Amino acid sequence: MTHAERIRQRDEDDMRTLLNEPWGRRIVWRLMKQCCMNSVPIVYGMPDATAFNLGKQDIGKALLAEVLNINPEAYMKMVKAGKKDDELMQKEMEDERTKQNEIE
């Protein structure tokens, strides 16, 4: 096995370890969200910002490809957990708005 193959195997093992743990999947999901994977990267009228976001998205796509190659089931777990977290945060924001409206 060449040195490059050993490094590639080590990197895959590292990702596998991350994806096998809930905390690791949360880290990977958070990184993918920061890479514009769940949003439109285009900022109208701001080509530099669009280019920056597209660069982030390219990194996110590489990360996603690695996840799907190593453990596709982990991706589905991340999607479900991320959706649940988003719904809980949305509910908290709505509850806070309701409380603010009651105060006013």
Q: Where are the domains of the chain?
A: 3-103
Check: CB of residue 85 under 8 Å from CB of residue 38. no
Q: What is the pLDDT along the chain (104 residues), one digit of tens a residue?
A: 899 999 999 999 999 999 999 999 999 999 999 998 888 999 999 999 999 999 999 999 999 999 999 999 999 999 999 888 888 888 888 888 887 887 77
Instruction: Name the 3-class secondary structure at 46.
Output: coil
Contacts 24+ apart (CB under 8 A), 11-14: 12/70
Q: What is the pLDDT of residue 98?
A: 83
* pLDDT for the residue 28: 95
What per-residue confidence (pLDDT) applies to 3?
Answer: 95
User: What are the distances in angstroms from CA 13 to CA 7, 51, 88?
Assistant: 10, 32, 32
